[in-house]
Amino acid sequence: MAKEQEHLRKPEWLKIKINTNKSYNRLKNLMRDKKLNTVCEEARCPNIHECWSERKTATFMILGDTCTRGCRFCAVKTGLPNELDWDEPQRVAESVQIMGLKHVVVTSVARDDLKDGGAAVFAETVRQIRKLAPGCTVEILPSDMKGDYESLHTLMDSAPDIFNHNIETVRRLTKRVRAIAMYDRSLELLRRVKEIAPNTPTKSSIMVGLGETKEEVIQVMDDLRANNVDIMTIGQYLQPTKKHLNVERYYHPDEFDELREIAMTKGFTHCEAGPLVRSSYHADEQVNKTAAQRRIKYMQGYEETNNEILNKVNF
């Protein structure tokens, strides 16, 4: 890469307003107390303050904090994974309950060392959240589990409100950007989810700024729609460290608006596109009507009860 690309200056529209209010600090302290990981922190998400402070949503990262893959865009550490923690689903659910979250995304590091890719722990986490926090909708964001579709059935048996799997980049750049993952395998995973659970919204995300063309991004849209994906998010790639891939260019907000409009004409039910958009950005707005109605039904009494719990907890 040319030297000037390594120091490509961020434009004004990528400045982030920090809002570390009481709600944010409570959730952060709770994560430490429960010995939990969030992708919000591990992947250095630029929206962490908005989601934690204002929207009462969070993305939990289960199955440890060490990924068996080494994708060249991701800040999550890689190496030998930890032992499975079967108490983790309960701790995640307790945290969701205490904080009165209205929507939660459950993702994980890739666990290629496990036969099921961690599907059983994923499913148990969803069930525990349903048990302790019925007013919270749940989105899952697993890896491709290396194409183990028996494990996919294990995941879908837990009945998530949204199934999310990120394709990350265009076909041409997949080998350079993603480790082990395959473009067509991701598409097949998303297609099979719809075959198992036709009414469950499916979702995928792409980063831009890695050297793709507009035509290639549009092709990703077509490929996702051909596999019945309902929701798409498009965000700017931001280089986590100097060891990661360089940003080739920064897209202007107007370009994101145009991409969103194109996506909606393709038939997506929802598309979030913007410089700071990430896969779980405004995820609470993307559940289908049935899930949203269930959340509304429980939420008032749920929030009143958990405010009482929260006031008794010292973080």
Integer Cα distance of 164 and 143 in angstroms: 9
Q: For residue 34, which amino acid is it?
A: K
Residue 67 is given by DSSP the state B
Q: How many CA atoms lie within 13 A of 247 on its CB side?
A: 19
> Is 271 labeled as ligand-binding?
no
| Cα four-point dihedral sign 121, 41, 24, 292 | negative
> Is 136 labeled as ligand-binding?
no
Neighbours of 307 (CB within 10 A): 11
Pairing between β-strand 37-38 and β-strand 162-164 as defined by DSSP bridges: unpaired
Q: For residue 166, which amino acid is it?
A: N
> Is 151 labeled as ligand-binding?
no
Contact (Cβ atoms closer than 8 angstroms) between residue 271 and residue 281: no
Residue 278 region by backbone torsions, left for phi larger than 0, else alpha for psi between -120 and 50, else beta: beta
Mapped to the 3 state alphabet, what secondary structure does 108-175 carry?
Answer: ECCCCCCCCCCHHHHHHHHHHHHHHCCCCEEEEECCCHHHCHHHHHHHHCCCCCEEECCCECCHHHHH
156 Cβ neighbours under 8 A, 6+ residues apart:
163, 193, 196, 197, 200
Binding residues: 40, 45, 51, 67, 71, 74, 280
- Annotated binding-site positions for [4Fe-4S] cluster: 40, 45, 51, 67, 71, 74, 280
